[in-house]
Every structure is written in structure tokens, then in C-alpha cells.
Amino acid sequence: MLLTREEMTFDFQGGKLDPVRDKAFIEWSMNQFLYGEMTGIQVGHWLYDAPDLNAAKFLARQSLEEMQHVDNFLRIMTMMDLRPGKAHWAVRFLSTGMMGGSWAEHVALEMAQGEGFVLMAFYGVIDTLDHKPSTDILRRAVKQEERHVEFGEIETRKAIEGKAWLRRRLLGLSLVSMWGVRRLAAYMGKRMPKDHPVLKFLPEFLALSNRCAETRLLRIGVLDRPLAELGTLKRAALVAEAYGGKALGGLLSLVTLPLRLLPFWPRKKRLTDVYLDDPHVSRFELPSGEPAEAARAD
Ligand SMILES: [Fe+2]
Ligand SMILES: [Fe+2]
């Protein structure tokens, strides 16, 4: 990976998430992660679009790993007596509604940036969650997530070689996702309890996530200078240029959006729509010999 664990680590100053006191927040977070792992089914789409055999082999393995991560979160949730529930609409929109439109967009935005962002959240949970059986599972899973991010970085670098227009396009799209993270940080800054040992840091944690995203763009070569040197006008132009190609599709989807939200609108239901009703999720049981434990275990 182009960033180290140290660079992607936020100092929570020893603050801990307590499985009993912070149950509601932990349950909410785990449900976002569970949905994120379920979107691993989308890897199948990109496997069919893989540019070479090595990429195809990587994606075939990745899809299996993401499905195993689904079980990891089901296991963690069962151990901590947390209920599977719906992910926030913004998380569903960002990970499914905004699926990349090309191989370059997929590897740059979903793998290098998107999975990089999730990886930082995993590091944050590992460093703060006071439940060793869960953090042990996550510690093993992050090794695989690190490889997914690294693949995204390498493939992005290959994709933009000699293509200045594509570099600008990916930069414009990345600027929008970083803007989204800044909005989220501002939202959390107003709502998170100022006296909670972990939650009070969330806005600063998100700010670090954006700085890491910028560093990653610089090291891949999507950015050729720090963002601060780009200026507001130049940034706006990059976003406009990136979305220019998407304008027609965007306009069309805006027109059909109210229709598509109607329950009778014909749309193929995918696992990301119905996974909560799947018996594997709704009646998940720990492998035999693994006791459920709602309390802290250290
Ligand atoms: Fe995963
Ligand atoms: Fe992943």
C-alpha cells in the first residue's frame, strides 16, 4: 500500500468503545460494515470486465474474501448480541448507487479511495473497541482489505498512464467524495457527544481520512500537487469536467428517480436489497464450540 498503518492511524488517546454503554453506536456501525461487505457481490460485475488474467484472478479471490467478511460481521454481531438492520441510505447510495462507470473509476474510486476509507474505519474500530474476540477477527480481515486497496492503487496508476484526461476525471470524481466526507464531519461535529472518550474525536478522524485520501492521490499520481495549491476555481472546473460526461446519464436518472422509488417499479432485487431476510443472516449461528458473549472479554 502507498500509505502505512501508522499514517492511517488516528490517535484516540486511549479512548475505548464499551460494548454495553456504547451498544447502540456499535450496532449502527456494524450494520454499515455488514452492508459494505455485502456489496462484495458487485465484484462479479468487474470480474466480467477484468482487463487481464491477473486482475481476473485477483477479483475472483476478492469476491470470496468479501463474502467471508460478511460472516465475520455476522459473527461479531452475534457475539455482542447486536441485531442485523438496515444500513444508512447514504452508505447504500455511496456503495451501490454510485458504482463506478468504468474499470478506471472502479479501481480508483471504489478500491483505492473507497476501500481505503473503510480500512481506516476498521483500524479505528480495532484500536478502540473493547471486545477482543471481535478485534481479533477484524485484525485478520484487514490484511485482505489492505491488499484490495493496494490493487486499486496499482491498477489506477496503470489506467492513468499517458491519459491526462482520465487523471483529471478521476481527480474531479475524488474531489466530490472528499467533499462528502467533509459534510459528514461537519454533521458529526454538531451531533457527537463532546464528552465521549471516542465519539468526540469522530470529526477529527474524518478529517484525517480526507488527508490520507489526498496523500494517496498524490502518491498514485492522480494529483500532481497538494490540493491547497489548486484553488477553488480549478477544483470546481475539475468537478464540472468529470461530471460533464455523466451529465446526460445523471439527468436521465434524476427524471426517473421518483418512479424508481415506487414499490411497483420493476427492478431486479439483488442480495444487497434482500440480505436481511436471508436465513443465513436472520438466523445466523456461531460455529459450534464458539460461545456467544455479550460482555467484554478481556
Ligand atoms: Fe471486505
Ligand atoms: Fe475489500
Query: Whole-prediction pTM value?
Result: 0.88
> Over its length of 298 residues, how does the chain's per-residue pLDDT go in tens digits?
999 999 999 999 999 999 999 999 999 999 999 999 999 999 999 999 999 999 999 999 999 999 999 999 999 999 999 999 999 887 887 777 667 789 999 999 999 999 999 999 999 999 999 999 999 999 999 999 999 999 999 999 999 999 999 999 999 989 988 888 888 788 777 888 889 999 999 999 999 999 999 999 999 999 999 998 988 888 888 888 887 765 555 556 556 655 655 556 666 889 999 999 999 999 998 887 666 654 444 4
Output the domain CATH number for residue 121.
1.20.1260.10
Q: Which domain holds residue 189?
A: 23-244+272-282
Report d(CA 95, CA 98) in Å as an integer: 6
Buried b (16+ CB within 10 A) or exposed e, 134-148: bbebbeebbeebbbb
Ligand number, closest to the Cα atom of 62: 2
Ion ligand 1, residue ranges at CB < 5 A:
37, 66, 69
Q: Is residue 17 part of a domain?
A: no
Q: Is residue 257 part of a domain?
A: no
Q: Is residue 6 part of a domain?
A: no
Q: Is residue 298 part of a domain?
A: no
Enumerate the β-bridge partners of residue 129: 17
Q: What is the pLDDT of residue 294?
A: 47
Q: Is residue 8 part of a domain?
A: no
Q: What is the pLDDT of residue 296?
A: 43
Number of domains composing the chain: 1
Q: Cα(144) to centroid of ligand 2, in Å?
A: 7
Ligand number, closest to the Cα atom of 73: 1
Q: Cα(112) to centroid of ligand 1, in Å?
A: 13
Q: Is residue 171 part of a domain?
A: yes
Q: What is the pLDDT of residue 142?
A: 96
Give 202's Cβ-side CA count (13 Å radius). Answer: 22
Closest listed residue to residue 15, CA positions, set 205, 174, 290: 205
Q: Is residue 44 part of a domain?
A: yes
Q: Is residue 155 part of a domain?
A: yes
